[in-house]
Amino acid sequence: MRIGAIELPNNLFVAPMAGVTDRPFRMLCRSLGAGYAVSEMVTSQRALWASLKTSRRADHAGEPAPIAVQIAGVDPAEMADAARYNVDRGAQVIDINMGCPAKKVCSKWAGSALMQDEPLALAIVEAVVAACAPLNVPVTLKMRTGWCAAERNAVRLARAAEGAGVAMLTVHGRTREQGYTGQAEYDTVAAVKAALRIPVVANGDIDSPEKAQGVLRATGADALMIGRAAMGRPWIFREIAYFLATGEHLPPPATHDVRRWLTAHLHDHYGLYGEHIGVRSARKHIGWAVRTLPGGAAFRDEMNLIDDTALQLRAVDGYFETLADRHERLPLPAAGAGNAANDHSTALAA
């Protein structure tokens, strides 16, 4: 699987998720089987680049190549500038966001709202490709199936983007109007794949090895992108990779391994955000990790009262140590218990 001249280790990608897929989480997913990870979106507005939030989003310290940065905005020249700025800071792939339905993006006509204005969408693609081509940096595009059910223009826009030099295209199988409701549909993704020569990535509602296999078969896509199902379950990438390769399921991870992964992730997280923000922003990751586990709900409530990273780390370590005494491997969720993939409201509020 390649993006331009860049060879990727596999075709299972972590989706960009603002407030979730920061550098520590991307590195965790990469270490557990994801072949590629895209940063949270970074605004194209120059005035915000120096802000703490944006500079944290542009932190790639220790991240394995290729470094992929997603940019969001509405102005072609500004987007081209943002691409060059991020390449200067280490980006090896630039991804354009035309997939995000978040209001604060759409009120400025960025994200998936751009799909409604094809000439502007294409002007942005052309400007970013023109900025990146001399730097030998491939440009990718992430979109939805369209603005609304009556306006599924993904195939038309995808063809135009390919013509403009985009190296890979990801399609989330929902319209902008759907937000995260309903089910992702894969027919439009299959139609995009059939219409293009560049690699196409299928995205939306992939939350198990069987689903991954089904989406690959239904769409003919070259790769899969997984977002919400990786929240609290970053080892899903290696579970899917193993199933696709062998037709067999990996056993659930050893509880001690999960403890080690989560505590290492927390250290990395605190390192990026510092004490005050770190202890608070780590709560969502801990909450997702324990969500379907015995005593998880009570532990999550307990977590919300802890304001100190050392205490938080000790509590998490203690929780998993106790769990490991009773369960050598992570217990499977009780029937009917959802996973974080069904809990995007929590994530979106984060």
Ligand X SMILES: Cc1cc2nc3c(=O)[nH]c(=O)nc-3n(C[C@H](O)[C@H](O)[C@H](O)COP(=O)(O)O)c2cc1C
Active site residue 148: no
Which residue reads 């991020």 in tokens? 86
Neighbour-count burial of 27, counting CB atoms closer than 10 A to its CB (0-12 exposed, 13-18 middle, 19+ buried): buried
Q: For ligand X, which is the closer residue by CB, 185 or 306?
A: 185
**Residue 142 Cβ vs ligand X, minimum distance, rounded to whole Å:** 5
Please, are residues 44 and 79 in contact by the beta-carbon 8 Å criterion? yes
Interface pick for ligand X out of 24, 33, 204, 234 (rule CB under 6 A): 204
* Stretch of residues binding ligand X (CB under 6 A), selected from 12-20, 276-284, 305-313, 328-336: 12-20
Q: What pairing do the DSSP bridges indicate for beta strands 93-98 and 168-175?
A: unpaired
Residues 303-332 that bind ligand X (CB under 6 A): none
Q: What pairing do the DSSP bridges indicate for beta strands 2-3 and 6-7?
A: antiparallel
170 to 199: interface string for ligand X, x by CB under 6 A: --x---------------------------
Residues 88-147 that bind ligand X (CB under 6 A): 97, 99-100, 142
Please, are residues 102 and 18 in contact by the beta-carbon 8 Å criterion? yes
**Residues sharing a CB contact under 8 Å with residue 318, sequence separation 6 or more, in sequence order:** none
Q: For ligand X, which is the closer residue by CB, 227 or 287?
A: 227
Q: Where are the beta strands (DSSP E) in 168-301?
A: 168-175, 200-203, 223-226
**Residue 191 Cβ vs ligand X, minimum distance, rounded to whole Å:** 18
Q: For ligand X, which is the closer residue by CB, 4 or 173?
A: 173
Which residue reads 């081209």 in tokens? 80
- What is the rounded distance in angstroms from the CA atom of residue 297 to the CA atom of residue 287? 8
Q: For ligand X, which is the closer residue by CB, 66 or 204?
A: 204
Residue 70 binds ligand X, judged by CB under 6 A: yes
Whether omega before 66 lies within 30 degrees of 0, making that bond cis, reads yes
**Residue 45 Cβ vs ligand X, minimum distance, rounded to whole Å:** 15
Q: What does the block give as tokens for 47?
A: 């005035």
- Three-state SS for 4-41 is CCEECCCCEEECCCCCCCCHHHHHHHHHCCCCEEEEEE
Residues 251-310 that bind ligand X (CB under 6 A): none
Which residue reads 């940096």 in tokens? 137
**Residue 279 Cβ vs ligand X, minimum distance, rounded to whole Å:** 20
Which H or E run includes 145?
A: strand 139-146
**Of these residues, 29, 100, 106, 132, which one is catalytic?**
100
Please, are residues 168 and 143 in contact by the beta-carbon 8 Å criterion? no
Please, are residues 152 and 180 in contact by the beta-carbon 8 Å criterion? no
Residue 154 binds ligand X, judged by CB under 6 A: no
Q: For ligand X, which is the closer residue by CB, 293 or 347?
A: 347
Interface pick for ligand X out of 3, 6, 12, 17 (rule CB under 6 A): 17
* Stretch of residues binding ligand X (CB under 6 A), selected from 227-235, 257-265, 285-293, 306-314: 227-235
Residue 18 binds ligand X, judged by CB under 6 A: yes
Residue 240 binds ligand X, judged by CB under 6 A: no
Q: For ligand X, which is the closer residue by CB, 111 or 323?
A: 111
Residue 69 binds ligand X, judged by CB under 6 A: no
Interface pick for ligand X out of 11, 86, 175, 203 (rule CB under 6 A): 203
Please, are residues 40 and 17 in contact by the beta-carbon 8 Å criterion? yes
Residue positions annotated with a catalytic role: 100
Using CB under 6 A as the criterion, which residues of the chain lie in contact with ligand X when the complex forms?
15-20, 40-41, 70, 97, 99-100, 142, 172, 203-206, 226-229, 344, 347-348
